[in-house]
């Protein structure tokens, strides 16, 4: 660890450290953009089961913060031989990564499922948090997750053709049975649906080879079995919540808003579930306001 810290001292914020961090039998592929003596932001990607490297975010924040991005358990470069996708394991992953870099307190920035992941962490270990930034976050666990999924289904149905919708049903069924190819095809269509109202992004193609059907299926089961998240009346840290004015969620967004009465809540105009694509000017202005960057 001493050698790692010395290495960080001579690195500039434009460089990065890639490492595999052990958590029991599982490993977490982690990238740190070191910035000595600065506060740390840990970024949580969506899914579950679809890792992202936050390439649009790094240039916006790396000057003023140390950034840590990781592939969540069982996705892409993070093998999960234990098969443990419990929320307790997910919480332990964040702690293990923070401890590896000798970071006691940190900010969490999560998008979509990553935003729900951040909320779950905050409900259990708020004392380690400097702030929460929840970007179009998943709206809740248990029955709230089930309601959210129904809203997402309606959004998808209204943003694709009948044939595409029928294919999505087949892909979902096969994905539930363990087909990675079907899950990848499903996510490709989902991305098209989420960008359907934004012509500039109709041709956006994402690498779906990193989609983990096991991580997605098992994590979803754990989320649905998890207790409802408690209301956080007076947290010792600031919270910002953003949704697009054309986001994939419906009434369930109010679960998040009522959960955090002290939060600043923003609706980003001309934006869906990917505000950093659809309206980056407004989105990153809010991000910078939150982080003071």
* Residue 101: strand, helix, or coil: coil
pLDDT tens by residue, 141-186: 999 999 999 999 999 999 999 999 999 999 999 998 989 889 989 9
CA distance 129 to 118: 10
CA distance 259 to 265: 12
CA distance 163 to 150: 20
Question: pLDDT value at position 108?
Answer: 99
The domain boundary, picked from 220, 248, 272, lies at 220
pLDDT tens by residue, 181-195: 899 899 999 999 999
Are both 52 and 110 inside the same structural domain? yes
SS (H, E, C) 209-268: CCCCHHHHHHHHHHHHHCCCCCCCCCCCCCEEEEEECCCCCCCCHHHHHHHCCCCEEEEE
| CB atoms inside a 10 Å sphere around CB 69 | 24
Are both 48 and 93 inside the same structural domain? yes
Tokens 């999960």 belong to residue: 80
CA distance 266 to 286: 8
Q: Can you say whether residue 48 is alpha, beta or left, with left for phi > 0 and alpha for psi between -120 and 50 degrees? A: beta
pLDDT of residue 2 exceeding 60, the answer is no
CA distance 136 to 46: 10
Are both 231 and 263 inside the same structural domain? yes
Strand partners, 255: none
The domain boundary, picked from 179, 202, 220, lies at 220
Are both 268 and 210 inside the same structural domain? no
Judged on CB neighbours under 10 Å (0-12, 13-18, 19+), 28 is: buried
Least confident of 210-214, 238-242, 262-266: 210-214
pLDDT tens by residue, 17-35: 999 999 999 999 999 999 9
What does the radius of gyration of the chain's CA atoms come to, in whole angstroms? 18
pLDDT of residue 278 exceeding 50, the answer is yes
Question: pLDDT value at position 14?
Answer: 57
Are both 132 and 153 inside the same structural domain? no
Domain that holds residue 206: 144-220
The domain boundary, picked from 220, 251, 272, lies at 220
């Amino acid at each position: 660890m001493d050698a790692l810290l010395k290495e960080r001292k001579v690195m500039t914020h434009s460089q990065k450290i890639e490492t595999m961090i052990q958590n029991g039998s599982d490993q977490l592929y982690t990238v740190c953009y070191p910035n000595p003596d600065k506060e740390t932001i840990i970024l949580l990607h969506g899914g579950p089961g679809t890792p992202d490297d936050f390439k649009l975010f790094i240039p916006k924040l790396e000057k003023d913060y140390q950034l840590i991005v990781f592939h969540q358990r069982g996705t892409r470069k993070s093998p999960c031989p234990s098969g443990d996708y419990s929320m307790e394991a997910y919480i332990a992953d964040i702690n293990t990564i923070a401890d590896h870099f000798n970071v006691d307190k940190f900010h969490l920035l999560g998008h979509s499922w990553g935003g729900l992941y951040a909320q779950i962490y905050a409900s259990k270990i708020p004392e380690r948090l400097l702030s929460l930034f929840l970007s179009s976050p998943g709206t809740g666990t248990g029955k709230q997750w089930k309601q959210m999924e129904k809203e997402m289904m309606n959004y998808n149905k209204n943003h694709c053709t009948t044939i595409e919708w029928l294919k999505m049903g087949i892909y979902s069924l096969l994905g539930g049975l363990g087909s990675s190819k079907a899950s990848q095809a499903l996510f490709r269509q989902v991305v098209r649906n989420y960008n359907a109202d934004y012509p500039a992004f109709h041709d956006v193609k994402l690498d779906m080879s990193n989609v983990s059907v096991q991580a997605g299926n098992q994590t979803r089961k754990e989320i649905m079995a998890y207790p409802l998240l408690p209301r956080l009346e007076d947290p010792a840290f600031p919270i910002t919540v953003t949704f697009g004015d054309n986001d994939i969620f419906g009434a369930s967004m109010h679960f998040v808003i009522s959960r955090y009465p002290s939060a600043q809540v923003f609706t980003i105009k001309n934006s869906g579930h990917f505000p950093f694509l659809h309206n980056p000017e407004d989105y990153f202005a809010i991000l910078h306001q939150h982080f003071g960057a």
